Structure 1
Amino acid sequence: MPETTLHRLPDQLLPNLRLVFVGTAASTRSAELGHYYAHPGNRFWRAIHEAGITPRRYQPGEFAALLELGIGFTDLSKSGAGMDHRIEAASIDVPGFKAKIEKYRPRTVAFTSKKAASLFYGRASSVIALGRQPRDECPAEVFVLPSPSGAASGHWTLEPWRELAAWIAALDLQHPPPSS
């Protein structure tokens, strides 16, 4: 069976993207529709526009169009779906994710939850700060964002998303993205 048939959502990755958003796994709704951040209560699409990452508010079904802006998507679990605490640990593939980052070399990686970042770093989410992370062995700059999920409303703030937007804008001034 080809590996792609196991994926709930297809990776949206190309070499040298400006930014790759990384979740833990697809939500149940996203897995059903085949679109990233598809639940109506998810703030993702509003946040990336309000923060200034995208020029307009995209809809979940337009996720592939963000490749034209140099923005990609993936998850740590390509076969799991549902709320983070219900994702089987065996479906989390941090080495596979790291291999993708090595292969595609995005400028910036943004985890869309402290849970996803904690799995990547191998430490408790309580010790991971929001925002830009200290440089380490990852070839990309790493940001940790508050989860845009409606289930995480108590921890929501747009500020780390704005910090990410400012970082991307500064990088674009230094190294403009290729014109499409």
Structure 2
Amino acid sequence: MTDVLSDLLQHSLRIVLCGTAAGTTSAAERAYYAHRQNKFWKILHETRLTPEPLRPHQYRSLLHHGIGLTDLVKAGAGMDRATLPKLTAADRARLSNAIATFRPQFLAFTSKTAGQKFFDGKRDYGEQCDLIGDTRVWILPSTSGAANGSWRPEIWHRFADEVRAAVG
């Protein structure tokens, strides 16, 4: 089975943002975080991780800002709570190997579900004690409109502050 959305990864990234899987709108649009109610693009600009607001179809331009994108499950699409293919050891290894290869300063899961699936257990938002090589790992609140009840932009702001502090 082929990837729903291709990874957006290269060397010298500051951040890799990782979701659980492409949403159905993102899969149809062939662009990350494409649903109109998703707050992903707004929070990237609000936290100054991108200097200008971007639209989903411009996702490749994130590389110019030192940001890459991937998902845990590459062959499935749907919401976190929907039935996605079960995350396998191979999925975890693929992500770990990509992070070890590209060596970003930060890997941030863009939902608690993604972080907990990767670590295979309960985790809270914020920086995790685990590293992948030298890469610091964070779990951020989901930007999905379906997750409005758990939206906490202050955690995204704290993450962005840590990214800036690590650079300077």
Asked if these proteins are the same fold (TM beyond 0.5), I'd say yes
State the match for 1:88 in structure 2.
Answer: 85
**1:152 matched to 2:147:** yes
Higher-strand-fraction structure: 2
1:44-123 mapped onto 2 (5 Å cutoff): 44-85=40-81, 86-89=83-86, 93-123=91-121
**Secondary structure of 2:10's match?**
coil
- Contact map agreement 2:100 2:132 (CA 8 A) in 1: no
1:138: Cα distance to partner?
A: 4.5
Question: 2:129 and 2:76 mapped to 1: Cα distance?
Answer: 29
One-letter amino acid of the structure 2 residue matched with residue 162 of structure 1: H
State the AA in 1 paired with 2:160: A
The whole-number CA distance in structure 1 between the counterparts of 2:32 and 2:43 is 14
- Say whether the 8 Å CA contact 2:130–2:136 is kept in structure 1: yes
Letter in 2 for 1:98: S
Any stretches of 5+ residues in structure 2 without a counterpart? none
Taking the aligned partners of 1:7 and 1:138, their CA distance within structure 2 comes to 25
Give the match's secondary structure for 1:143: strand
**Are the aligned partners of 1:20 and 1:74 in contact in 2 as well (CA < 8 Å)?**
yes
Cα deviations by residue, 1:135-162 (Å, 9 ceiling, x for unpaired): 4454311111100000001000101110
Identity of aligned residues (%): 40
* Higher mean displacement: 151-160 or 86-95: 86-95
Amino acid at match of 2:54: Y
- Partner letter of residue 35 of structure 2? H
In the alignment, structure 1 residue 26 sits paired with structure 2 residue 22:
yes
Cα deviation 1:101-153 (Å, max 9, x = unaligned)? 111111101100001001111103xxx12111124454311111100000001
| Cα RMSD (Å) | 1.5
Conserved in 2, the CA contact under 8 Å of 1:101 and 1:139? no
| Corresponding residue for residue 5 of structure 2 | 9
- Greater Cα radius of gyration, structure 1 or 2: 1
Structure 1, unmatched stretches of 5+, are: 174-180
